Structure 1
């Protein structure tokens, strides 16, 4: 998972603050780009600044959270939205955030598919929270089975598009940008995720010449030498 203290996350945070963005939609062009990781890191960065922050998981294509009920007597709550507005936990890394998980059934998703209804929900959330971060489905996978990302992005103050290095094509990126522009989504910028990209030193150390030809003591010396210089830490 991405750290909330990364320089890139800090730059996004500052840019969003300068634009006075209270609601942020984080999306990606395709699955596996790291949308959830960035949305969580940004949420944690808001929390570090003292903002009451709500994490909204609308990524129905690849849901990563489960709800943790903390109410003493949930049976007394009749409003489903209030019942679901609780603590949520990531299924794999087990981080807990204040959040809301979109319902699975299409009938219960309808209020979030309608722009005006979603706007009312967002306004209601912002009465309690200082910031709201939406984790949405990839634009390439938006269909009738999930909440349209463009609808969410249109209602937010800012939209961040996550792109994965070496996996996203020019066509998919341009298509995603075109969808956001066509639907009048307030676009902030692109976050380039290099989590699958190796550094120059890793490429050199994994090469057959390095592993099979050079003596082990020479390999260790070269590894130490490359670790001292930023040139060898650059992504290839």
Structure 2
């Protein structure tokens, strides 16, 4: 399974903080985006939607990520084609196992052009906000420029606030700046940046890895160092 599709427990303090600074603060529409693919947008969008549902808000999770559609899989449903108008879109909304959470998976390739239209998206947004307390978007990466893409910045410009994910130790500063510039140029309201440390090793792991360089010379000493580091609460703090 792709790490981006791992379900994140909504009782994490990090999720609570993100929720408290977005939907919990009164924002009704939020977009989750990133600079590059596979940084965890779908995971966070799904967790944030579940947290909103637990708070008693009728919530709609909309996938406009055409690069790697995942919400049909993460919610246990197949992807469903839909068109850019309220009537046809409503027919493809899927009820999740959570009482107040509905999910709208990514549209098919033939419908993408319709969602690049600001008029169409404005009409959909107006309709959804009449029927839901919160609408959360899982967007394509900002730097993605494939032909079937729905530009993330156009979606982000329509919502009350945008959250950007950065994969720690992977996303380059130039990639982040390029994405940030595109959002800024489209007057996007960026309410926060989330650092995903899924691929960022702990200090203890890094120290243990480096000690193996000396195993040929000091095998017993290196084994003792690794044993100490693994048991140390200081070296195993999650940053």
TM-score above 0.5, yes or no: yes
- The equivalent of 1:4 in structure 2 is 10
Paired residue for 1:52, among 43, 47, 58?
Answer: 58
- The equivalent of 1:232 in structure 2 is 236
Q: Partner of 2:91: helix, strand, or coil?
A: helix
- What is the TM-score of this pair, normalised by structure 2? 0.80
Q: Partner of 2:191: helix, strand, or coil?
A: strand
> Shift of the alpha carbon at 1:220?
7.8
- The equivalent of 1:87 in structure 2 is 95
- The equivalent of 1:191 in structure 2 is 194
Paired residue for 1:132, among 131, 135, 140?
Answer: 135
Please, what is the CA RMSD of the aligned residues?
Answer: 2.6
- The equivalent of 1:94 in structure 2 is none
> Shift of the alpha carbon at 1:115?
1.5
- The equivalent of 1:29 in structure 2 is 35
> Shift of the alpha carbon at 1:11?
1.4
User: Structure 1, unaligned stretches of length 5 or more?
Assistant: 70-78, 90-96
CA distance in 2, matches of 1:33, 1:194: 10
Q: Partner of 1:156: helix, strand, or coil?
A: coil
Cα pair 2:29 2:159 within 8 Å, conserved: yes
Q: Partner of 1:160: helix, strand, or coil?
A: strand
Residues 30-66 of structure 1: CA distance to partner in whole angstroms, max 9, x if unpaired? Answer: 0121111111111121122111111111111001133
Alignment of 1:7-156 (within 5 A): 7-17=13-23, 19-66=25-72, 68=77, 79-87=87-95, 98-106=102-110, 108-156=111-159
> Shift of the alpha carbon at 1:224?
5.6
Q: Partner of 2:22: helix, strand, or coil?
A: helix
Residues 167-210 of structure 1: CA distance to partner in whole angstroms, max 9, x if unpaired? Answer: 11111111111111101111111111110011111222334168
User: Structure 2, unaligned stretches of length 5 or more?
Assistant: 1-5, 79-86
Residues 65-85 of structure 1: CA distance to partner in whole angstroms, max 9, x if unpaired? Answer: 33849xxxxxxxxx4222211
Aligned pair in 2 of structure 1 residues 126, 233: CA closer, same or farther (>3 Å)? same
Residues 123-145 of structure 1: CA distance to partner in whole angstroms, max 9, x if unpaired? Answer: 21122221111001001113431
Q: Partner of 1:118: helix, strand, or coil?
A: helix
| Count of equivalent residues | 216
Cα pair 1:142 1:149 within 8 Å, conserved: no
